[in-house]
């Protein structure tokens, strides 16, 4: 709610009812030395009108730069209707649907989301979302250790071409539970996971093999060969995918002879705006035989005694229910509001619209690469097939060039030199369907000036 509804008299009455003299008395167990001595850096309170004006001014300082950064957060066009519907009171204020009889609308939206995600990934079942893409991968690997009775030791083969932040989150979430990450190198020429380097892991009985498609460089992996190799070792295949790319690419269920076992990723491209780093949501789908180890919750469709369709939560044993330490997940948030936006977005654009978004993004990235590599000293690092990101190498330090571009209101990409120093002055760039020829030419002109 945008305001606190309780009057001073309401507060006095409530305190009297519970037998507390003051609000501070409710927290008398907190030692005095731990209590803040006052918020000295907080200014005096202002009116609603004044704070609204201030926040508009602060938001204006962010500006509207021309954005060519991807790296897991993508600027796509979001139809106006998506958030007009999402922020209706029925969705915006709806909480976790524990009471199915009072939450049929929310449950149906989640059910439709699950249906759409299984259609995109080709898998049998989807949950009703995760905290974000990185934690969805961590949960997928924890799930894999519970499922894989053949190779249960917790050795995970993770490609170096996985988003480096994902790898860090996975380590934070799983290392205390005995899961070990072994990093698989990539081919310096193609940017793909090196199939030859996998041979050194034959016989090590990995629990799971992670395959990112497209990978962090935007390169498309040889998913069929990777999947078949993993299954030959008795490992499960955990796919990390961009949902927009699945409008064009083969679904993970068709990778190799048997398909991926678990599919996860970040749902932000499906209707969530770039908003200072979030909020985003993760998705997770899998094959039916392992559904009971899937973290999170699932919405099921059934019929009542009168034969009318209805929806309810099922397989939802998590930390806020009765299982606690035996729960399949200890992350509570399921990001229902973002999932609602994603469901509405996919409903509005439809399969053909999503395919157009993906195709336009790929075409724009090709145009961007061609424009930038015409600049003297700029070269494409990997010439392999890609989705809507690419890595280029600059003849000058990337950090300084990005600062110059920022002065011209352009977000030029992501500096890869800290995470991939072996690539030199490498820059990850991205173009989605929102970029025009004029935008690309503006960037190319500014980059040429910055390098000169």
Query: How would DSSP label each residue in 145-158?
Result: HHH-SSS-S-EEEE
- DSSP, collapsed to helix, strand or coil, labels residue 11 as helix
List, for residues 151-182, the tens digit of each pLDDT value. Answer: 999 999 999 999 999 999 999 999 988 899 99
Q: b or e along 208-237 (b: 16 or more beta carbons within 10 Å of the residue's beta carbon)? A: bbbbbbbbbbbbbbbbeebbebbbebebbb
Q: Distance (Å, rounded) from C-alpha 415 to C-alpha 401?
A: 10
Alpha-carbon torsion 369, 386, 158, 266, what sign? positive
Quote the DSSP letter at residue 193.
Answer: B
Quick one: pLDDT at residue 2?
A: 53
- DSSP, collapsed to helix, strand or coil, labels residue 317 as coil
What's the Cα-to-Cα distance from 272 to each of 76, 117, 144, 162, 335, rounded to whole Å? 9, 16, 29, 22, 11
Instruction: Return all residues near 170 (Cβ < 8 A) that are at least 6 apart.
Output: 134, 137, 138, 141, 156, 158, 181
Instruction: Return all residues near 247 (Cβ < 8 A) that are at least 6 apart.
Output: 120, 351, 354, 355, 357, 358
Q: Distance (Å, rounded) from C-alpha 145 to C-alpha 128?
A: 21
* pLDDT at residue 390 greater than cutoff 90: yes
Q: Percent of the chain scored above 70 by pLDDT?
A: 96
* pLDDT at residue 75 greater than cutoff 80: yes
Chain mean position to CA 310? 30
Chain mean position to CA 290? 23
Chain mean position to CA 22? 44
Token readout for 280 is: 């985003």
Token readout for 123 is: 């898998």
List, for residues 290-331, the tens digit of each pLDDT value. Answer: 999 998 889 999 998 999 999 988 876 554 555 666 777 777
Quick one: pLDDT at residue 53?
A: 95
Quick one: pLDDT at residue 329?
A: 78
* pLDDT at residue 360 greater than cutoff 50: yes
Instruction: Give kind and range of the element (H or E) at residue 104.
Output: helix 104-121
* pLDDT at residue 434 greater than cutoff 90: yes
Q: How many residues does the chain have?
A: 452
* pLDDT at residue 129 greater than cutoff 90: no
Q: Percent of the chain scored above 90 by pLDDT?
A: 78
Please report the domains of the chain, with CATH numbers, ordered by start residue: 66-77+350-451 (3.90.1150.10), 80-345 (3.40.640.10)
Calculated CA dihedral for residues 198, 203, 204, 206, nearest 10 degrees: 70
Q: Which of 91-105, 111-125, 210-224, 365-379 has the lowest mean pLDDT?
A: 91-105
* pLDDT at residue 95 greater than cutoff 80: no
pTM over 0.85: yes
Quick one: pLDDT at residue 317?
A: 55
Quick one: pLDDT at residue 324?
A: 63
pLDDT confidence bin for 1, thresholds 50/70/90: very low
* pLDDT at residue 49 greater than cutoff 80: yes
What's the Cα-to-Cα distance from 304 to each of 140, 158, 314, rounded to whole Å? 34, 46, 15
């Amino acid at each position: 709610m945008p305001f606190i509804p309780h009057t001073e008299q309401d507060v006095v009455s409530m305190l009297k009812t519970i037998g507390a003299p003051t609000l501070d008395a409710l927290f008398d167990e907190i030692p005095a030395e731990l209590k803040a001595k006052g918020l000295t850096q907080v200014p005096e309170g202002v009116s609603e009108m004044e704070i609204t004006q201030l926040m508009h001014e602060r938001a204006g300082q962010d500006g509207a730069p021309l954005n060519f950064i991807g790296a897991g957060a993508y600027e796509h066009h979001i139809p106006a209707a998506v958030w007009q519907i999402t922020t209706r009171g029925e969705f915006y204020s709806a909480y976790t649907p524990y009471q199915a009889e009072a939450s049929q609308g929310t449950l149906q939206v989640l059910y439709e989301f699950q249906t759409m995600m299984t259609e995109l990934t080709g898998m049998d079942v989807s949950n009703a979302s995760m905290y974000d893409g990185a934690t969805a991968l961590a949960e997928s690997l924890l799930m894999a250790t519970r499922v894989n009775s053949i190779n249960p030791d917790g050795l995970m083969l993770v490609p170096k071409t996985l988003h480096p932040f994902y790898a860090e989150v996975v380590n934070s979430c799983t290392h205390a539970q005995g899961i070990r990450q072994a990093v698989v190198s990539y081919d310096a020429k193609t940017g793909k996971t090196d199939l030859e380097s996998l041979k050194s892991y034959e016989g090590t009985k990995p629990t799971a093999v992670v395959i990112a498609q497209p990978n962090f460089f935007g390169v498309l992996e040889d998913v069929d060969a990777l999947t078949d190799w993993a299954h030959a070792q008795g490992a499960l295949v955990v796919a990390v995918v961009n949902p927009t790319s699945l409008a064009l690419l083969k679904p993970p269920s068709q990778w190799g002879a048997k398909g991926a076992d678990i599919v996860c990723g970040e749902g932000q491209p499906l209707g969530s705006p770039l908003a200072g780093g979030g909020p985003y949501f993760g998705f997770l789908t899998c094959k039916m035989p392992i559904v009971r180890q899937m973290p999170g919750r699932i919405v099921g469709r059934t019929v009542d005694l009168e034969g009318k369709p209805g929806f309810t939560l099922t397989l939802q044993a998590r930390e806020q229910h009765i299982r606690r330490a035996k729960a399949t997940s200890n992350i509570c948030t399921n990001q229902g509001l973002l999932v609602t936006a994603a469901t509405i977005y996919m409903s509005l654009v439809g399969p053909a619209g999503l395919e157009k978004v993906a195709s336009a993004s790929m075409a724009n990235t090709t145009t961007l690469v061609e424009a930038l590599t015409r600049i003297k000293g700029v070269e494409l690092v990997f010439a392999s097939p890609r989705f809507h990101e690419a890595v280029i190498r600059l003849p000058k330090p990337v950090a300084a060039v990005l600062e110059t571009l920022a002065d011209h209101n352009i977000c030029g990409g992501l500096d890869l030199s800290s995470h991939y120093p072996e690539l030199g002055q490498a820059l990850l760039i991205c173009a989605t369907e929102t970029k025009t020829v004029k935008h690309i030419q503006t960037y190319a002109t500014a980059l040429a000036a910055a390098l000169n």
